[in-house]
Structure 1
Amino acid sequence: MVDWNSPQTLLSNSLTLVKLLHVVDGIYIWEYFTTLWFEWEVLTKRRPWRRTMLIYFATRLTALAGVCTELVGFNLTTRFNCQGWLLAVLITVYPAFALNSLLILLRTIAIWERKLIISVALTAVWLTNVAFLIHGITLADSVWLPLQNACFVVNSQKSKLNVLVSTITDLVLLLAMIIGVLRLESDSSIWRMLYRHGIVWIVLATIGLVPPTIFLFLNLNEPMNLMFQTPALVIMTICATRLYRSLATFGRRTTVFDSFLSSAPLASVQALPRSVRFQRNSSGGTQSLSTNSGPTGTSASLEVEFPTSYGRYRAEDLELVNDRLKAINEEGEDFHK
């Protein structure tokens, strides 16, 4: 049986921890700089500003500050203030945990159409998580080990309740988001995207948040208690910000589609599928809708399928679900009824 507290095991686990954190932190730094195009579009005003973008920026920056501070501490070989370093890590990492949960919270509340009881309940859950994270900062304790020329975090097992509450909070928010998406009962592409993202979120939250909670309760040794906490931060932050970007980008791509729906007086079903052809003049003129291809131009076919259980749709009926889904991207604005 392995003696988890023997000097050899502690040294081996510590080296594994440092190597793993270098890999995970490197992945997040790569993710941050390869997705700066979104911030650039906002700063250059090519993308409209929304208040939730402030939370998005803060999430990414605090996580970046946390992983960079962590790397600095693990690469210094001369004596330094270990307690100050650990506090600096937690002061940046814990807000990142809270902010990526806040991104999920705002999205979930929007999906539930800001129903009061849902909004109050989920906000209370999130605030409870914030309170436990703040409490966790006060429990930080680290010492310098002269023989290893490195800092060593001690008493990390005391933070197990904070990690457990964070895990439960994110899982509750994600389940609420999935249920809210299922309530919309739509076949639109944005609905399918939200549903897929919700499923992926549940899986990744389990992969990222459950292992650190389990190891903290097992309390094998200090390195094993810390082994999966940074990977959980990186996984949750990457997924939360990618979800935000994908929905914001999707909202821009659907503008023309929305305009077409709002201008269509009726949509009827004659046969399944039904083809609509675009007539394009070879001289570079404007495109026009046509059911026949002329001899002077080329045509492209777009097949539109409707369920067989319905005969006709009013334009406002077709717009209703799309408007509700679009409102998910408009947390700071009223819903279109």
Structure 2
Amino acid sequence: MLLDIAVFLAVLNVKKELNCSGAFKAVTALGNIAVGLASLLLMIRAVAINASKKKYMIPLAVVLGANWGTLLHAVSVADAVWDPQSSSCSPVGTSRFKPNVLTSFAADCVFMGVSFVSLLRKEGLSRLWRMLYREGLICMGVATVAYLVPSVFLLLNLNDIMNYMFQPFASIVMVTCSTRMYRELSEFLSPQVLPNPAISTLSTLEFYKPSSRVLRPGMDKSMAVRVQMETTTATESTFGTTDYTQSGDDSSSLHFARP
């Protein structure tokens, strides 16, 4: 998407006549590849939430294939001509982008809708569930607003410029939304390690049951319990002060008299 924006701005700032049709096809191809990959991320999330079940995977894959088909069709029909008055490229026939925009809108809504409904059916209180629920709710609202505007203008079909004007905006919003969801989930599953973390371990208890064999007279009829202390270490803090360090391995035996 960044490459698409760079090429788009370069084409807009060219003051000499160039092959506008080829340039516009390149801009459309880069943008549609980014949108298609964003839809792929949304589909993977929907499949993963449903544990990769085939009854979800196959229909969602079909929807993704239809979306990619319309994206490729948009590249083939993209066209622009040189406008001497404005000294810039002017897109033509943008009403032919209608299947592309409407199908992408429907596909992304299907992916996010499946994820959202699946989360509601598996309602929980974990931090991961809350994060996925919040991300899904926000992304559904953002995608609806982003795609609704260009869809309305395409259906109205006022002119070529108005038909195309909001499509780059919708593409940027969807790519940003889907990649932000992926990055937030990645950061949640792989949290950053603090520069000087305190290292602590859990203590363990080991219980020794008395032997079942017959004891000779004078032997201690008790049960030994060993308590083992693990090491806890705190390193220098980020504020320049040094915390105390305490470590050790202590083993002791507690004897409980048998009744």
Name the TM tier (shorter chain): 0.7 to 0.9
Give the Cα–Cα distance (whole angstroms) in 2 for the partners of residues 108 and 250 of structure 1: 18
Name the residue aligned to 1:240. Answer: 178
Name the residue aligned to 2:237. Answer: none
- One-letter amino acid of the counterpart of residue 31, structure 2: V
Give the Cα–Cα distance (whole angstroms) in 2 for the partners of residues 284 and 207 of structure 1: 55
* TM-score (norm. length: structure 1): 0.58
Deviations 1:194-248 (A, max 9, x none): 0000000111101111111110110111221112111111111111111111101
* 1:169 paired residue among 77, 84, 107: 107
Work out the percentage of aligned pairs sharing the same amino acid.
Answer: 34
Greater relative contact order (Cα < 8 A, sep 6+): 1
Query: Structure 2 vs 1, CA of residues 280 and 134 (structure 1 numbering), >3 Å: closer, same or farther?
Result: closer
* 2:187 paired residue among 249, 254, 267: 249
Quick check: which has more Rg, 1 or 2? 2
Give the Cα–Cα distance (whole angstroms) in 1 for the partners of residues 162 and 75 of structure 2: 19
Residue 189 (structure 1) aligned with residue 150 (structure 2): no
SS in 1 for 2:52: coil
Give the Cα–Cα distance (whole angstroms) in 1 for the partners of residues 94 and 48 of structure 2: 37
Give the Cα–Cα distance (whole angstroms) in 1 for the partners of residues 184 and 85 of structure 2: 48
Give the Cα–Cα distance (whole angstroms) in 2 for the partners of residues 107 and 285 of structure 1: 45
Give the Cα–Cα distance (whole angstroms) in 1 for the partners of residues 56 and 103 of structure 2: 19
Name the residue aligned to 2:168. Answer: 230
SS in 1 for 2:81: strand
Deviations 1:110-138 (A, max 9, x none): 00001111000111001000011111111
- One-letter amino acid of the counterpart of residue 83, structure 1: S
SS in 1 for 2:124: coil
Count of aligned positions: 205
Give the Cα–Cα distance (whole angstroms) in 1 for the partners of residues 175 and 96 of structure 2: 24
Name the residue aligned to 1:86. Answer: 24
Query: Structure 2 vs 1, CA of residues 75 and 115 (structure 1 numbering), >3 Å: closer, same or farther?
Result: same
SS in 2 for 1:137: helix
* Consecutive unaligned residues in structure 2, runs of 5 or more: 194-200, 205-231, 235-242, 248-259
Deviations 1:306-337 (A, max 9, x none): xxxxxxxxxxxxxxxxxxxxxxxxxxxxxxxx
SS in 2 for 1:152: strand
Name the residue aligned to 2:51. Answer: 113
Q: CA deviation at 1:280?
A: 9.1
* TM-score (norm. length: structure 2): 0.75
Aligned counterparts, 1:194-205, within 5 A: 194-205=132-143
Query: Structure 2 vs 1, CA of residues 280 and 64 (structure 1 numbering), >3 Å: closer, same or farther?
Result: closer
Q: Which has the higher helix share?
A: 1
- One-letter amino acid of the counterpart of residue 252, structure 1: S
SS in 2 for 1:142: strand
* 1:283 paired residue among 235, 244, 247: 244
Aligned counterparts, 1:118-133, within 5 A: 118-133=56-71
- One-letter amino acid of the counterpart of residue 59, structure 2: A
Deviations 1:156-188 (A, max 9, x none): 001111110110000011100101222222101
Give the Cα–Cα distance (whole angstroms) in 2 for the partners of residues 254 and 77 of structure 1: 48
Name the residue aligned to 1:158. Answer: 96
Q: CA deviation at 1:190?
A: 1.0
Give the Cα–Cα distance (whole angstroms) in 2 for the partners of residues 254 and 172 of structure 1: 33
- One-letter amino acid of the counterpart of residue 151, structure 1: C
* Consecutive unaligned residues in structure 1, runs of 5 or more: 1-62, 264-278, 287-337
* 2:158 paired residue among 217, 220, 237: 220
Residue 178 (structure 1) aligned with residue 178 (structure 2): no
